[in-house]
Structure 1
Amino acid sequence: MTLTDGRRPGSRGVAADHVSLRRNNLSVVLRHVRDLGPRSRARIADETGLNKATVSSLVAELVDRGLLREGPADSSRALGRPGQLVELDGTGVCGVGAEINVDYLAVAALDLAGDVVLEKRVPVDVAHLEPGTTLDRLAELVREAVDAVEARSGELAGVTLAVPGLVQGETGELKLAPNLGWGEVSVAQEMRTRLGDPGYPLHVENEANLAALAAYAELHRTEDDRSGGVPHDLVLLTGAVGVGGGIVSNGHLLHGGAGYSGEVGHMPVAPPGRTCGCGRTGCWETVVGLTALLHKATDRDDPVRDPSLDVEQRLAGITRRAEAGDARTLSALKDVGTWLGIGGAILVNILNPDVLVLGGYFAVLGPWLKEPLEKAIQERVIAPDGGGCRVVRSELGFAAAVRGGAQISLDQVFVDPTRIGAAS
């Protein structure tokens, strides 16, 4: 007997198809529990369309791999014997995200349930260091996070590095990071060497893209029907010295043809004036970046301009002045908020996102930036009511990129649960 495609039962191709099908079904069940919460085996079977025997086998393997665990009895059943719930475990599976930014390095380790195992940020004047020195320091932070995972007997799903520039995703090469002064740096290979050619996956991604994914996950945890439901499309604007954007469409990150999307800080929307880090004038970030705000709000010798201070300490100083009603600070914030809305309106006109998310320093100073931003959007977006786009502040602050990096690594476990553990 032969199959319809000419293969014989028991052939290598049939075995491969069986393995692929089971891997896919493991993913379906694991993602179903992640997205919808604890479920009985019978309910999982009913909701996914898989038969009960298959679900029982899949759940048993996922429990064996440490990805699901037995929960309490299913109290929702009104009749009959209550089923046993299964819920996401993953406390022994972690992902690590690490970030290089202009004035800090950061790292975070999350477990499969999204709980923080370690999170750390250190002020570093990266723009004035050689790339090798910065990567040495970043490697120290990554090793610290990996040690924290191993200390809890955890298995590492992978490490994702966030950098503020153009990244070639397949090779992990940083093509250009204007505000760092870096170009053509093989970040992935350099880090693999520093980490001793580790066995876990290591990837490099643009920091705004990772922050956008973290913001998307954040909104799906916190939004409800009163706010219009969870968004499917969003644009995240993240600001520090540079300004970046991440675009999520229908739940998927938009990379663009060559992977270079999101460089919104270099849209030529501002009048010629201060030179941007990219060497051009008129870039959006020259009027909305943190440097632009500090130039407007402070004098040259003001402590909040000191890059050796943690960025949150510097922003706390600006916040105190705004709360105290300092006229110069409030004027600077209004000006930056208006320019933020002018550029934001361009993005809303082109992309029509459900939500425009403020991240980075924009989120910290959002109470003063949001009103002029929304006013500019209402005035400049051609669609009625600003195209239905809401402006929200992310609560993740400067941890967004490292959280997103850790989540990217963990997402691969949901795609292929057989990466983790060994079923008995």
Structure 2
Amino acid sequence: MRPVPNGLADIPADQATVRRSNLSLVLRHLREHGPQSRSAVAAATGLNKTTVTSLVGELRARGLIRENGPQHAGAVGRPGLALTLDGTRVGALGLEINVDYIAAFATDLGGRVLIDRRVGFDAMGCDPERSLDELARVAREALAELGLLGIHVAGITVAVPGLIDGANGVVHVAPNLGWYGVPVAERLSWDVAPTIPVTVVNDANLAALAEFTSGVAAGTTDLVYLTGEVGVGGGIIAGGRLLGGADGFAGEVGHVMVDSAGERCGCGRTGCWETKVGLAALVRMVTPDHAYGVPDGIVRDPEERLAEIERRQAEGDPQVAAALAEVGRWLGLGSATLVRLFNPRVIVVGGYFARLAEHLLPRAQAELTRLGVTGTVAHCTFVASDLGFGAASRGAAGVVVDRVLADPTAIEILPPQMSTISGA
């Protein structure tokens, strides 16, 4: 008889909670510290050896760990088999939809990158239904690829530049996409993966998590991440935790008003920060004939737009130089407010900010120094992300991985023959 999916059906609720916690403890320990014997895991976690043996059996049955052996280093007596994180059959899929592209990033539990791609798509010029159709198509293709690799997808997280009702997977408002009350999670679940959990999270928050765990400022407990897209979002890590706010809407820095006499923003207000530093603002200043929202029948990936700007900058185009200086100045001006509010050690800039960092950040840092509070500014610097435009989709996959690590029972127990093979 095949075991029940979570293996905890006959255990009282309080004991089931303790067991889930202990399974997570062992799995996280192996992920963070690498291969270890049962005895070493027991000593490090404070669990007794009998409990560890039982937990290891279940984690093996779920295909999350395997045994390599034997382990000799520092051992006295008969060497034990080394337990190591497996997860090669468990995957996480992160998706992102933005103004001019859709990205997909997939990884297995051990961190092996399985899919990393971005496709051009004019979401700004399409209605929500058409955009969701394309998002679903990209998701289906990714799931098909993962299926051919024998990967069980534990979850899908979608990054969207807007205000999200995380509990229901509904996008309240995404001004630059023209989305209002769009049920993304429900639509993807219905069209793509009825059996796979789908969550929706703000893109900047996901990118901030990716930076915190694996970016240029990894481990920095107080940082601000700026997206550097058509819109400008912010993800805030404070004390090592993502700052969400009462409704999960913290970080909407792009819609802070900085110029009451400025341009009208996609949100309907005037003079928002992203009208000064968003990629749309730079493109409008440099290539007005190819500005966002100007219909010309060509779908341009942000990399293509940036390539043209870089070419003209290298040729000494004064219009480009002036535009970059202006964006750099406003980037520093707005960031000075963020430094006063959140006192970060680092402001990580992503997207096009990172691509053009050598032209934008010196001016931004100078403006930050001029306007900031002396003590806080002295310890805060701009840093260019090395995750490119894929930070949000990478962070989205990371959320799924963290969910599995927190609750390994989310992964079904394999049939006996499969679990035996995976533990061989």
Aligned residue among 200, 220, 238 for 2:227: 238
Q: State the Cα distance separating 1:150 from its structure 2 match.
A: 1.1
Alignment correspondent of 1:338: 329
- Equivalences for residues 211-250 of structure 1 within 5 A: 211-219=207-215, 230-250=219-239
CA distance in 2, matches of 1:98, 1:218: 18
Task: State TM-score, norm by structure 1.
Answer: 0.89
**1: CA distance, partners of 2:317 / 2:70:** 58
Q: CA-to-partner distance for each residue in 1:201-227, whole Å, 9 max, x for gaps?
A: 0111111111111111113xx66xxxx
Taking the TM superposition and a 5 Å limit, the aligned residue runs for 1:162-201 are 162-195=159-192, 198-201=194-197
SS of 2:196's equivalent in the other structure is coil
Deviation at 1:125, TM superposition (A): 1.2
Partner of 1:359: 350
Which letter does structure 2 place at the counterpart of 1:371?
P
Aligned length in residues: 405
Residues 321-373 of structure 1: per-residue CA shift (max 9 Å, x gap): 33444332222212211211111111111111232111111111112111112
Letter in 2 for 1:418: T
- TM-superposition CA deviations, 1:83-110 (whole Å, max 9, x none): 4332221111111111111111122221
1:170-319 alignment runs, 5 A limit:
170-195=167-192, 198-219=194-215, 230-301=219-290, 308-319=299-310
Q: In the alignment, what sits opposite 2:3?
A: none
Tell me the alpha carbon deviations over residues 2-54 of structure 1, each in whole angstroms, 9 at most, x when there is no partner: xxxxxxxxxx9973222221111010111112223333322222222222232
SS at structure 2 position matched to 1:411: helix
* Distance change (3 Å), C-alpha of 1:409 and 1:78: closer
After superposition, give the CA deviation of every residue in 1:106-156 in whole Å (9 maximum; x if it has no partner): 222211122221122111111111110110111011011111121111111
Q: What amino acid is the match of 1:400?
A: A
User: Quick one: structure 1 residues 56 and 263, their matched pair in 2 at CA, closer, same or farther if it must change by over 3 Å?
Assistant: same
Equivalence for 2:368: 377
Question: How far off is 1:78 after superposition?
Answer: 6.5
Q: Percent identity?
A: 47
Contact 1:359 1:398 (8 Å CA) reproduced: yes
State the alpha-carbon separation in 2 of the partners of residues 292 and 171 from structure 1: 33
Distance in structure 1 (CA, Å) of the matches to 2:68 and 2:313: 49
**Could you say what the CA RMSD is over the residues aligned between the two structures, in angstroms?**
2.4
Moved more, 256-265 or 53-62: 53-62
1:319-338 to structure 2, matched below 5 A, reads 319-338=310-329
User: 1 CA distance for matches of 2:62 and 2:344?
Assistant: 39
User: Alignment partner for residue 99 of structure 1, among 90, 96, 118?
Assistant: 96
CA distance in 2, matches of 1:330, 1:47: 57
Distance 1:264 1:302 in 2: 23
Instruction: Show the counterpart of 1:4.
Output: none
Secondary structure in 2 aligned to 1:66? coil
Structure 1: distance between partners of 2:388 and 2:306: 12
Indicate conservation of the 8 Å contact 1:352/1:387, yes or no.
no
TM-score (normalised: structure 2):
0.89
User: Given residue 265 of structure 2, which amino acid in structure 1 is its aligned partner?
Assistant: C
Which of 27, 36, 40 does residue 39 from structure 1 map onto? 36
Pairwise CA distance, 1:398: 1.1
- Matched to 2:321, the amino acid is L
Deviations 1:255-313 (A, max 9, x none): 1111111110001113522111111111000110011112222342589x876122112
SS of equivalent residue, structure 2 residue 271: coil
In the alignment, structure 2 segments of 5+ residues that lack a partner are 1-8, 417-424
